[in-house]
Structure 1
């Protein structure tokens, strides 16, 4: 599995995966319940910026993460502006972006194995109800990693196009991006099958 973990010695890197994921989930939920107003957009942006500063990743890493999901921002904001006024469209996009950045912060500061173990421990009490804790933990870990991995693949496609001197365009970007994404999904499926996951 592709990991986006960045080694570090900050308090966020040293924090246990379970409590860290729980706190970040609570923050994401709090941000998602903000109203669709200008001040809420500012709060969502401030939460993301403060999160990256406090955990020691810094503004440079934040900028890299925002740049990596720029197409998500464009599509989300553009789609919202078709149906909504500017204020709710910007606020909704800011909330989505903050949630993506916070999920990225978790993945950047936590090893995938630690996330899997934390999710599995958290789901173990539900095994009496027939829940397969291992399978759900793996699904959650793969889901958390998906957005940053797709962002990295998109960056790779853009860099390859620039190296070839290809013109920038949405159609010229989407087709190779879909091919690379599907190849990654296929490789991930093969890796999971090889480990006995069905």
Structure 2
């Protein structure tokens, strides 16, 4: 299964998958609940920068290179979210809401960057095991949650790979030239994901 995991020795790498998942969920929730004010945009950005700096991603720039890479991958989300809200809400709420959404996605991406998929799957499955008394299949639920948490950053990485390949070949930028290879890579990822799930016995 394609993963964004980056080996490292930082705080988040050393944390067990379960507590790390809870910590990042709390941070995402805290950022999401900030008000639509200027200071909230700054608070969300500061939280995200601090989280990447402490993550120990070993990119030579205290995580800032990886943060920049992830932010660039989300640029169309930023443009669409900001543009739509500027029209209907005005500058302050548009900037604050866009910052909150972007930072929430970036913080969630840290989970995929610092946690192996197998470790995350096992942690979620253990956490959901008490729900089996209510006839909840903890294994299937864990797979669903894990796939959901890891798919967005993986697709962002695939989009970045397509753009880099186009630049290397000198291809013209455009939706048509981007969409076809991105769709092919996304379908290939879906096949790999299906094979990984089948190997785990999920039907």
TM-score by length of 1: 0.92
SS of the aligned residue for 2:36 comes to coil
Once the two structures are TM-superposed, the CA of residue 52 in structure 1 deviates from its matched residue by 0.8
Secondary structure of the structure 2 residue equivalent to 1:151: helix
- Taking a change above 3 Å as real, the CA distance of residues 114 and 56 of structure 1, as seen in their structure-2 partners, is same
SS of match in other structure, 1:118: helix
Query: How far did 1:18 drift?
Result: 0.6
Q: Which stretch shifts more, 40-49 or 84-93?
A: 84-93
Q: How many residues align?
A: 198
Residues 89-134 of structure 1 deviation map (CA, whole Å, 9 limit, x = unaligned): 1111111111111111111111111111110111011111111111
Query: Which of 182, 187, 190 is 2:187 aligned to?
Result: 182
Further displaced range: 18-27 or 183-192: 183-192
C-alpha deviation, 1:10, in angstroms: 1.7
Provide the residue aligned with 1:124 in structure 2: 129
The residue that corresponds to 2:54 in the other structure is 54
Question: In structure 1, what is the equivalent of residue 40 of structure 2?
Answer: 40
Q: Look up the match of 2:72.
A: 67
Give the conservation status (yes or no) of the 8 Å contact 2:10–2:54.
Answer: no
Cα shift at 1:47? 0.6
Q: Where does the alignment leave 5 or more consecutive residues of structure 2 unmatched?
A: 58-62
Please report how far the alpha carbon of residue 34 of structure 1 lies from its aligned counterpart in structure 2 after TM superposition: 0.6
User: Which residue matches 1:172?
Assistant: 177
Q: Hey, what's the Cα distance between the residues in 1 that align with 2:179 and 2:151? A: 17
Q: Does 1:162 align with 2:167?
A: yes
What is the RMSD of the two structures over their aligned residues, measured on CA atoms?
1.6
Q: CA deviation at 1:16?
A: 0.9
The whole-number CA distance in structure 1 between the counterparts of 2:20 and 2:96 is: 26
Shift of 1:180: 2.3
Alignment partner, residue 60 of structure 2: none
1:98-117 mapped onto 2 (5 Å cutoff): 98-117=103-122
Mapped to 1, the partners of 2:199 and 2:116 lie a distance apart of: 21
Q: Partner of 1:146 in structure 2? A: 151
